[in-house]
Amino acid sequence: MNWIVYAGVAILLLGAEVLYLRLATHYHIVDSPNHRSSHTQLTVRGGGIIFWLAAFLAFVVTNFVSPVFFVGLTLVALVSFLDDISSIPNRIRLLIQLISLGLLLEQTGLWSELSWWMVPGLILACGVLNAYNFMDGINGMTAFYSLVTVASVLIINQFIIPFTEPTLVVFSLIGVVIFAFFNARQQALCFAGDVGSVSMAFIVIFLLINLMRESGQLTYLLLLTVYGIDSVMTILYRLWRGENIFQPHKLHLFQLLVHQLQWPHLRVAGLYALTQFLINGYVIWLTRWDAQRQFWGSLALLAVLTLAYVLITNRLLKPRRKPDHGRETSQVFRRLT
């Protein structure tokens, strides 16, 4: 596919994003800051809708390849967008997500292959979908992380193991770059919203399943390591504290870095993306080895990252010792006398 097509897609997605920002502002589809927010001003919600649009354009350009996948993507994007506009009960969103992921697995051919493993497979895929959504909490996070993830998949597809027609990957990458222009700022013009983060997660899951099926290597799951470690460890920590994991919170590591250390959003998002970028290089190198070395190499990576997460989180959550003003006063008095 030539560069003229890519340029045309970029212009179309850019125009669509600008139009959406105006419509969302007019119809008040915005995020209002509250005690759980990491932002301080009204910001348009749902700017990640262009991820679905990028997939739609890829669907049309490729003569409607993978129709079952696209139906699933459209269903999950629609319910997520409606949730961005007006909150939808969790059970309805979860039901639609499971149906959509079932369609995705059918498109990839795993539905018949998994047999009784289908239920654990759906649960795992649903977990990845929602983890990607939960991590969309600060400016640049979804933009930078998705840029690294999709770009890595494109590199693997082009130079290591061709596993899919590249149009969906390239169009999604263009959509991420355009979204980053509006989101990766000190004061974001828009957030991805559920429609953006869930749609991107759905696309990434589809690509990774195809990659793992073609290569026969589960090691490629590590392309989502950073999100996975933060999400899983945060859930375990909240369970240990006896909290309801379905209630909103501010205990993700990226939230602690922002609120405890007062780090800028883009610094934290960049750190997450850079970490995943380095991991992806390690993963690509690791897949050149046999299955046993891949297993131990993957286990070592997860162990190191888990330990790092625990040490950093414990330090950030450690209660700060309040100064003993009475003791300080008595010491001053003794010095004076």
Predicted confidence at residue 114, as pLDDT, reads: 66
**Per-residue pLDDT for 332 more than 70?**
no
**Per-residue pLDDT for 73 more than 90?**
yes
Is residue 218 domain-resident?
Answer: yes
Taking residue 160's Cβ as centre, other Cβ atoms within 10 Å add up to: 13
pLDDT tens string 280-318: 999 999 999 999 999 999 999 999 999 999 999 999 988
The CB-side HSE value for 180 (13 A sphere, CA atoms) comes to: 20
Predicted confidence at residue 116, as pLDDT, reads: 66
Is residue 328 domain-resident?
Answer: no
Q: What is the number of domains present in the chain?
A: 1
Is residue 326 domain-resident?
Answer: no
**Per-residue pLDDT for 249 more than 80?**
no
pLDDT tens string 214-228: 999 999 999 999 999
Annotation-wise, does 183 bind a ligand? no
SS3 for 276? helix
Predicted confidence at residue 34, as pLDDT, reads: 52
Annotation-wise, does 194 bind a ligand? yes
The strand ranges marked E within the chain are: 30-31, 43-44
Poorest-pLDDT segment among 26-30, 110-114, 166-170, 190-194: 110-114
Domain with 111, as residue range(s), is 3-319
**Per-residue pLDDT for 181 more than 50?**
yes
Per the prediction, the chain carries an average pLDDT of 89
Could you tell me the pTM of the whole model?
0.90
